Amino acid sequence: MKRGKFRVITLTSDILILTASYIFMSMLKPAGLKAYIPSHITFFVLLAFLWIIVSFAGGKIGRGRIINLRTLFSRVLAANLIATSVAALLLFALRDLGYSRQVVFGTALTATFLELTLGSLYLAFRKAPLITPAEIKLSERELVARSHPGDASEIIPDPSLTVRLQEGCSRVRAEAFSSLINREDAAQLAIVSTGEAFNIQNLEHSNYTCIINLKPMNSIRKLDRFLDTVNSRLVDDGLFLCSVETLEQRVQRLKEKFSPVVWYLIMVPDFIINRVIPRMKLTGGLWEFVTGGANPPFSRAEALGRLSRAGFAIKQEKFAGNMLCIKAERRSAPVPANENGYGMIISLPRIGRDGKTFKVYKLRTMHPYSEYIQDYVYGLYSIADGGKMKHDFRVTVWGRFARQVWLDELPMIVNILKGDIKLFGVRPLSNHYFGLYDDDIRDRRIQYKPGLLPPYYADLPTGLDAIQLSELRYFDSWDRNPLGTDIRYFARSMYNIFFRNARSA
C-alpha cells in the first residue's frame, strides 16, 4: 500500500472513530443527541482539528510509524492526551465552560480505547506469523553427516587393518579410518604417527596408494610443508587419511571438562592465546617459541583448506569421537601457501570489466585457507536464495555479524576511489562463482564495471537463475538510461535494506 493512500485511510478512520465516540457519549446523556450534538459542536470541531494536527506531528498517523504494540500505545496515548488537554485549555481560556465533562473527556477516552483496540487487531493481523517449519541450524556433526550420506556404506572395514590402527589411536578412530578405504586403496599402505615431514620423506617405498597419519593435524608444527611432503609420496589419485580436532569440537570438549563458571572465565583468554596471538605477525613467532607450536586449534574450514591447497580433493569426512577424520585424494601438485598471513584486511581476486582480474578489499570474515575450498562447499550445499553459499561453514561468528551490518564491505570504498568499481553495479565475482554463470551472461557481465551494491538488493531474487535474470534486467535498463537506472536501483536497494531487512549473508 502506498504511503499517501495509507495516510488517507488512517486519517479517515481516526475521524470516524472520534465522531462515533462523540455521538456515543452524547447518547448517554439524558437530553440525548438533539440537545448535545448542537451544543457541543464547537468543542468537537476544535478537538477534531487538534486531534488531526497532533496525530500527524506525533507520528500517530503515517506509514511505518507504528510498528508494534509499544509504539502503538505510546504514540496514541501521547497524541490523544495532548490534543484533549490543549482543547480543554483553549475552552477554559475562552471562558466557554458550559460543556459537559462527560462528553468532553468521555469522547477522548472512548476514541482512545477504540484506537488502541483496533490498532492492536491491525498489528495482530499484519504481523501474523507464517507457520512453516523453522530453518534448523545444523551443528558441525550434523552438517558432516548430511554432506556424505552413505559414502562409506559400500566399503567393508578390514578387521586386521582396524587392529593395526588401534596400536596408535583409539578404537573408535581406528574403526572410522578403516571404514574409509577398501583393499585396493590399501595396496601400498603406510601407517604413520608423526608430525615431521622428514619421517614422511624417508618412508621405505617411493610411492604409496594410501598414507594414514594417526597424529592429529593440530599436533603438526609445519603443517603446510608436511602436507606437501605427503603429496609427493602418493601416486596419482592416492589417498591420505588424517584427523583433526576442530574448533567446535574443542569448545565442546572444554565445556564438558569444566563447569560453566570456569568455562566462561577461560573462554576469552583461551581465544586470545590460542587463536589471536598465533595469527599475528608480531606475536606468532613468540607463541611458537613458548609453546613449541603445539596443538593450535583449527576450524573445519582451515583443516580442509590446508589439504586443498596441498593438492588434495576432499572425498569424505566422518566424526570419530571429538575428532574429524578426513579422506583426501591427491589430485595435483600443491599450490604455494599464502605467505602474507591472514590479517583483518584482505584482498581477493575478482573478475572486473573486460574480464580483467583486480583486487577487492574486504574485512576478513572467513577462517584462514577458506579460499581453497569454495568449489567444495558449493558441491556440498550449492547456492542459497541470496546468492551466497548455503551452510557456509567457512564464515566465522564475527564474520556473520560483520556481514549483517555491512562492516565487511567498508574497505571496498578504496576500490571505488581507485575506479575499480562504482557505487551501484553487479557484484564482482570470484573465478569459481563467475564460472557458474551461463556463457552469454558472462560475456554480457564483463562489459560493465562492477559495483558495491548489486541489483540483488533491489530485486531480491532467489537462486542463481533468478539472480542472472535480475542482472540482465539491470543491464538492459542501464543501456537505455545509465544514471537514472543507478539512481532508481540504489533507492530500491536502500528501501529493501532498511525496511525489508535485506542483508548480506
Q: How confident is the model over 130-173, as pLDDT tens digits?
A: 444 445 567 788 778 777 655 545 677 788 899 999 999 999 99
Do 180 and 321 belong together in one domain? yes
Q: How far apart are CA 363 and CA 403, in angstroms?
A: 9
339 occurs within a structural domain: no
Q: How far apart are CA 64 and CA 73, in angstroms?
A: 15
Crossing angle of the two packed helices 41-58 and 69-93, in degrees rounded to 10:
140
What single string gives the DSSP state of each residue in 64-107?
A: TT--SHHHHHHHHHHHHHHHHHHHHHHHHHTT---S-HHHHHHH
Positive or negative, the CA dihedral 179, 183, 186, 191 is: positive
Q: How far apart are CA 148 and CA 141, in angstroms?
A: 11
The 234-244 sheet, strands edge to edge: 189-192, 208-213, 234-244, 323-330, 312-320
40 occurs within a structural domain: yes
Domain boundary among 289, 305, 330: 330
Tell me what the mean pLDDT of segment 408-429 comes to. Answer: 90
Q: Residue 446 is part of which domain span?
A: 345-499
Do 326 and 360 belong together in one domain? no
In three-state form (DSSP H/G/I as H, E/B as E, the rest C), the secondary structure along 32-45 is: CHHHHHHHCHHHHH
Do 294 and 352 belong together in one domain? no
| Cell representation of residue 162 | 582396524
Do 302 and 361 belong together in one domain? no
**Of 278 and 375, which is predicted with more confidence?**
375
295 occurs within a structural domain: yes
Q: Which of 116-125, 301-310, 401-410 has the highest mean pLDDT?
A: 301-310
Contact 441, 469 (CB under 8 A): no
3-state secondary structure of 212: strand
Do 246 and 286 belong together in one domain? yes
* 100 C-beta neighbours (distance < 10 Å), count: 18
Tell me what the mean pLDDT of segment 250-257 comes to. Answer: 89
CATH number of the structural domain spanning residue 311? 3.40.50
456 occurs within a structural domain: yes
Do 121 and 77 belong together in one domain? yes
Among 56-65, 234-243, 331-340, whose mean pLDDT is lowest? Answer: 56-65
336 occurs within a structural domain: no
Do 323 and 419 belong together in one domain? no
Do 273 and 363 belong together in one domain? no
Q: How many domains does the chain have?
A: 3
The continuous run of DSSP H or E covering 443 comes out as helix 439-445
pLDDT band at 210 (very low <50, low <70, confident <90, very high): very high
**Of 40 and 332, which is predicted with more confidence?**
332
Q: According to the model, what pLDDT value does residue 127 have?
A: 62
Q: How far apart are CA 494 and CA 503, in angstroms?
A: 11
Q: According to the model, what pLDDT value does residue 1 have?
A: 47
- Per this entry, what is the length of the chain? 505
pLDDT band at 338 (very low <50, low <70, confident <90, very high): low
Q: Is 425 exposed, middle or buried (0-12, 13-18, 19+ CB in 10 A)?
A: buried
462 occurs within a structural domain: yes
Chain-centre distance for alpha carbon 115: 39
Do 196 and 264 belong together in one domain? yes
| Cell representation of residue 105 | 473527556
Domain boundary among 104, 126, 148: 126
pLDDT band at 7 (very low <50, low <70, confident <90, very high): low
Name the nearest CA neighbour of 432 among 346, 372, 353. Answer: 372
Q: How confident is the model over 440-485, as pLDDT tens digits?
A: 999 999 999 999 988 888 888 888 888 999 999 999 999 999 999 9
Q: Is the pLDDT of residue 340 over 60?
A: no
Do 85 and 230 belong together in one domain? no
Q: How far apart are CA 135 and CA 42, in angstroms?
A: 58
Tell me what the mean pLDDT of segment 66-80 comes to. Answer: 79
pLDDT band at 32 (very low <50, low <70, confident <90, very high): low
Q: According to the model, what pLDDT value does residue 131 have?
A: 40
135 occurs within a structural domain: no
Do 56 and 193 belong together in one domain? no
Domain boundary among 284, 307, 330: 330
382 occurs within a structural domain: yes
Q: According to the model, what pLDDT value does residue 115 have?
A: 83
| Cell representation of residue 398 | 564475527
Tell me what the mean pLDDT of segment 113-135 comes to. Answer: 67
**Of 98 and 192, which is predicted with more confidence?**
192
Residue entry with cell 503515517: 62
pLDDT band at 364 (very low <50, low <70, confident <90, very high): confident
Q: How confident is the model over 285-324, as pLDDT tens digits?
A: 777 777 776 677 889 999 999 999 999 999 999 999 899 9
Do 360 and 322 belong together in one domain? no
Q: According to the model, what pLDDT value does residue 480 have?
A: 93
Q: How far apart are CA 174 and CA 34, in angstroms?
A: 96
* 397 C-beta neighbours (distance < 10 Å), count: 9
pLDDT band at 270 (very low <50, low <70, confident <90, very high): confident
